[in-house]
Amino acid sequence: MQVIKIRGIEKFGFALTNLGNIPIMTLLNTYLLIFYTDVIGISPAVVGILFLCSRLLDGVSDPVLGFLIDRFPNTKFGKYKPILILGTIICCLNYLLVWFSPLLFLDQKIVAISVSYILLGITFDLMDIPLNSLIPVLTNRESERNVLSSIKGISYTVGPTILNIIAPLILARHNSKINGYIFLIVGTVFVVAFFTIIGTLTLRERVTTQVDCSKEIKKRYSIKDVLKILKIREVVTLFISMLFITAATNIFNGSLLYYLNYIIKDTRLLSLASFLGLFGALGAGILVPSLSKKFGKTRLYTFALLIISLAMIFLIFLENSRDIFLICYVMIQFGLGFTNTLQYSISANNVDIVRIKLGFESAGLIASLNSLIMKFGMAMGGAIPGFILSYTGYVANKEQVDSASIGIIIATFVIPLILYVLTIAIFNYGYEIFSSKSFSKENSSTSI
């Protein structure tokens, strides 16, 4: 099989495209809950139910869209690029409605946010699934896939960090909360559209369905073929791991502003923490190619989860210390820098495993199933903080009672810790991380 290299300009464009993909969900996961509760005035329990039901409903569309995207014809611009550009435009328009439809439809604000939020899941898929399908079709070199995954991981960690530095400052500059959010969200939409479209135009899809194996590769696959994927141990293990990590990270991010506002009593601390966390995330992303070659991707993935779990333990028992918070936040971003990078490289390898074991091309399908799993995780991440806050007596914009303060700690640190530890156990079971046999097998898979 011919080895396909990727140009430097494409690596830059790939970074730009991924950076453009980030603000949509980053601001949604961090600010939408507190925007709906503290600005729009909706009960956190109602918002939690909305997040849960909406995510579960729009998640059903992911495999369908992935199935259709894999059937999209190859054009002179590629298979995934045209969908990515069109999807970005549609998603940006709907994103504005998610935030501002309750201001436009005051008497029907619950209906307005429900419809727009469900539609966002579908429209975001139109830009997210094609983007996450690109690594296997841009290059077939394992080393360059690791580099692209590193670029993606760094982007997915640096991008949110930059937003978490800038967003609190933008909101603090405006006396009116509404005006602050309008400036932040509208500006974000322009950045998303510009970065994604310009970055996508630099990319070239080269890798076809050719693969070095004895099976003939089918251009189309059936529903029965899709179900066979769920029998592949490596694929299922990564799916479950991504579900728990996504849920844990979104619970942490969605609760963090409540922790800083009502426990630490300084939301601007997030800007400093995000700035410091940027260096941890960058360091992890840069180290991934060399460390994964030396220790293996799955061992490095597990090591990162251990770092995150340790930081959560410190924060549970030392919750009122600003210095401890800053140190632990850097540790968390360092660990997420590894996991965010490695999961896409491991997923690209899973596409190769499907080619070899089942004999069909599944880049769009795997990406859509990843998206489905992550949406379920985001559904959990959006709902659980709202339920915990309501149950423990949280009242917006008031001094919190002891039970509500405990609820904030549980939502921000305890629940994520449990999920990260479960992920370690599941990942170790699925990949047999600490066996020498697994390590040698993983290293040999780099030749796929």
**What is the per-residue pLDDT across 229-240, written as a single tens digit (0 to 9) for each?**
888 888 888 889
Say which residue, 306 or 337, is predicted with more confidence: 306
- Residue 147: what residue type? V
In this model, does residue 200 exceed pLDDT 80?
A: yes
In this model, does residue 210 exceed pLDDT 50?
A: no
Where would I find the H helices in 105-232? 109-132, 134-138, 142-173, 177-201, 223-229
Structure tokens given for 239: 């799916």
Sign of torsion, CA 319 325 331 332?
A: positive
pLDDT given at position 228: 81
Using CA atoms, how far apart are residues 118 and 132, in angstroms rounded to an integer?
Answer: 21
Kindly state the DSSP code that residue 39 receives in the 8-state scheme.
I
Using CA atoms, how far apart are residues 409 and 256, in angstroms rounded to an integer?
Answer: 9
Query: What are the pLDDT digits (tens) for 278-313?
Result: 888 888 878 887 888 888 888 899 999 999 999 999
Query: What are the pLDDT digits (tens) for 212-226?
Result: 444 555 556 667 777
- Backbone phi, psi, residue 348, to 5°: -65, -40
**Mean pLDDT score of the chain, rounded to an integer?**
81
pLDDT given at position 220: 62
Using CA atoms, how far apart are residues 296 and 141, in angstroms rounded to an integer?
Answer: 17
Query: What are the pLDDT digits (tens) for 25-79?
Result: 888 877 888 888 888 888 888 887 877 777 666 666 777 777 777 677 677 777 8
Domains of the chain plus CATH, in order, are: 8-447 (1.20.1250.20)
Q: Mean pLDDT over residues 434-444, rounded? A: 48
Query: What are the pLDDT digits (tens) for 366-395?
Result: 777 777 787 778 778 878 888 898 899 988
Query: What are the pLDDT digits (tens) for 180-194?
Result: 899 999 999 999 999
Using CA atoms, how far apart are residues 333 and 280, in angstroms rounded to an integer?
Answer: 6
Using CA atoms, how far apart are residues 346 and 232, in angstroms rounded to an integer?
Answer: 14
- pLDDT more than 90, % of the chain: 21
The CA-based angle 388-380-29, given to 5 degrees, is: 90
pLDDT band at 251 (very low <50, low <70, confident <90, very high): very high
Q: Mean pLDDT over residues 411-435, rounded? A: 86
